[in-house]
Structure 1
Amino acid sequence: MGEIQQKIGGTKMKKMIAGFVFVLMIGLLAACGSADQQIGKASAEGEKGNGPVEIKLGVGYATEENLWLIKVASDLAPNYGEKYTLDLQQFRANTDRLNAYRAGQIQGGSIGQGAAIMSAAQGINLKIVANIAKETPGEGFNSAFMGLKDAGLESAADLKGKTIGIPDFKSPTDMWARSAVKAAGLDPDKDVKYAVLPTPAVEEAVKSGKIDVGLFPQPFYEMAQEAGELKTVFTSKDGVPIDEDFLNLFLHPDFIAEHEEAVRALVEDLQYMTRYYVENKKEARQKLLDAEFVLSEPEIYLNLVDYNRSIDSSLTKESWELVQEILLEDEWIEQKVDLDELIDDSFLAK
């Protein structure tokens, strides 16, 4: 799939979704060899020590600007091209990304906090090495679940018999939706239904009545606000009012062991680009627009409210413990995972 292009909006978005699904299917069918044979391998030059190590990462549709910038503005990344290069491959949700990871097609990527814990609980071997974005009550943007303005939906309490659109089951967004419904006094298993669909398709699904509310991360939230037909019914923090390490960078332990210098360089560049992005949002976003990683109206994208970012990409252990308790309560996992084993923050420059 090679270098991704983040296609947002209009006809181009529809073409992108169709093309992405086709390319993903071809990529999965073409995968060969066992995961053990492929995980940890880099480019031929990197393997021979004659060039930078190629790192294949699975990424998503939104929220990952500081990670994308390493590729888009590689001239600013201190280590890019010398110690490593990136092949960014785009996936609809955690499940697709993890399937590719287990097949050895990628060596890591972005992953939600709850999905990382559940993956570890299921025996998937991975390490969380840095934070990409946080979901913090009252600080920065909180992901919104939006419905039609004239649908009479004011809060999660009004969702009995309704359908909620999410990117994936047993994902952070699924946890937010179920927790908000539960906090509103409804049964998340009996009183509402769920539909899985890609983020770029959510707005049209709400407008057409296929779902009643759906998840809108940035910049999809600002685009919906600009269109004026939708409103926020509840947010990610209505049911989970804690500071979450919402989106994180993970890598395979074997790849880390084999390419420690390249991994350290990647994490160092993520820290650098996160600081650059936080301190120069418009300039950084313009670079993403110019590279067509994001296709959006500039006046919307350049000025949108961003998620809370840990400027040093640091991880908050307490956050992981709290999310794990929610997963245990909802019986998404049967027993606790060793968070010290799952999280490896040794590559973060303090």
Structure 2
Amino acid sequence: MKRLMLGMLMSLFAVGMIGCSSASEAGSSSGSKEDGPVKIRIGIGYATEEPLWLMSAAPELTKYNGDKYELEFQQFRANADRLNAYRAGQLEGGSLGQGALIMAADQGVDLKVVASIAKDTPNKGFNFPFMAKKGSGLESAKDLKGKTIGIPDFKSPTDMWARTALRNAGLDPDKDVKFSVLPTPAVEESIKSGKIDAGLVPQPFYAELEPKGELQTVFTSKDGVPVDEDFLSLFFNPKFISENEEAFQAFIEDYQATMKYYLENEKEARQKLLDKEFVLADQEIYLNMLDSNRSEDLSLNRESWEEVQQIMLEEKWIENKVDLDKLLDESYLK
């Protein structure tokens, strides 16, 4: 498996055009229990998925991995690639942002959101800051009129956070500011050189930059969307679930147990990921940085899905309301 690199955080948020073939048409190529453990192929990103990665990095934490199911991760930099692989029947499921999942459902992709991976919760855990040069006079979103904001991609959670924060400050994001799409590792230098005035700084970059005192926070993700977002969630193919219920239930139970271990032993869990080179980062920074809020039982916040969907409708990112009762399925959580 390719090494998981923390330096690529916001590539997880990229949203593009979705492929043409259907996962429900392609079905699952996983074997049955009679042939051995059921293979579960999961499309993952490059950051914020530590409890999920831990299931592979430390299989001793799981009860059924290798018995009832066999876990296989496939790494993708962009949502579009992950969704195309899923619709081609090359994946049973994957990690994806809340907005991207709603957009995928709006475009007819057959999937079920079954568990939370990470949340973006007001005043709890890490909230994503948009930062500017210290002394620039940019103290809040209202100061950004006529300025350029750096984001990883359009129609992404970061784009939504910025646009709603600007609207909340009385600005029109379509007229009063410019957006520049650039990779996360380039944000610091782009701010310092004046290419952009403010930009998103995720972990672990924030943990590295904040002590230097060269940049300051202008606003955060929660100034834009002040609700408990299921910012990163786990989705699966409904057909795979129905045809492999025992294996899927075993996987969910192991994921819950691994999440519990991660939350109770965060430094030890992160060290396991460093030791197995699932994460390549400065050890001191990675072990001590503030993490996103997470749900121990993997539960989803239905209210936040309603709120995020409403924002997406207002921004005209989706045309119709998605049936959230059909999209969200927590029936396998205990």
After TM superposition, is the score higher than 0.5?
A: yes
Count of aligned pairs between the two proteins: 325
Which sits farther off after the overlay, 249-258 or 33-42?
A: 33-42
Q: 1:93 to 1:185 in 2, by over 3 A?
A: farther
Q: Give CA-to-partner distance per residue, 1:98-157, whole Å, 9 cap, x none.
A: 233233332221111122112111111110000011111111111112223244322222
SS of equivalent to 1:249: strand
Q: Is 1:40 matched up with 2:28?
A: yes
Query: Unmatched 5+ residue regions in structure 2?
Result: 12-18
Cα 1:329–1:37 change in 2 (3 A) is: closer
Q: Is 1:61–1:199's contact at 8 Å kept on the other side of the alignment?
A: no
1:284 maps to what in 2?
269
Separation in structure 1 between the aligned mates of residue 183 and residue 29 of structure 2, nearest angstrom: 30
Provide the rounded CA distance (Å) in 1 between the counterparts of 2:87 and 2:93: 10
Which letter maps to 1:41?
S
Taking the aligned partners of 1:307 and 1:196, their CA distance within structure 2 comes to 24
- Give the deviation of 1:265 after TM superposition: 1.8
* Partner secondary structure for residue 165 of structure 2: helix
- CA separation in 2, counterparts of 1:93 and 1:146? 24
Give the equivalent residue in structure 2 for 1:6. Answer: 4
Contact 1:92 1:167 in 2 (8 A): no
What is aligned with 1:344?
329
Contact kept? 2:131, 2:218, Cα under 8 Å: yes
* TM-score under structure 2 length normalisation: 0.89
Q: How does 1:1-350 map to 2 (within 5 A)?
A: 3-8=1-6, 38-42=26-30, 46-47=31-32, 49-349=34-334
Residue 39 (structure 1) shift: 4.1
SS at 2:333 equivalent: coil
Measured against aligned partners, the alpha-carbon deviations of 1:260-302 in whole angstroms (never above 9, x if no partner) come to: 2222122112211111111001100111111122222221111
| C-alpha contact 2:26 2:87 (8 A) present in aligned 1 | no
Q: For the aligned residues, what is the CA RMSD? A: 2.4
* Cα distance, 1:39–1:217 mapped onto 2, change above 3 Å: farther
Q: Write the letter of the residue equivalent to 1:152.
A: G
Task: Report deviation, 1:227.
Answer: 4.6
Q: CA deviation at 1:228?
A: 4.1
Change (3 A) 1:201 1:272: farther
Q: Which moved more, 1:225-234 or 1:306-315?
A: 225-234
Letter in 2 for 1:293: F
Question: Which residue type is aligned with residue 49 of structure 1?
Answer: E
- TM-score norm. by structure 1 comes to 0.85
Q: SS at 2:288's partner residue?
A: coil
Q: 1:162 to 1:54 in 2, by over 3 A?
A: farther
Q: Distance in 2 between matches of 1:228 and 1:292?
A: 30
Q: Percent identity?
A: 65
**Partners of 2:23 and 2:110 within 8 A in 1:** no
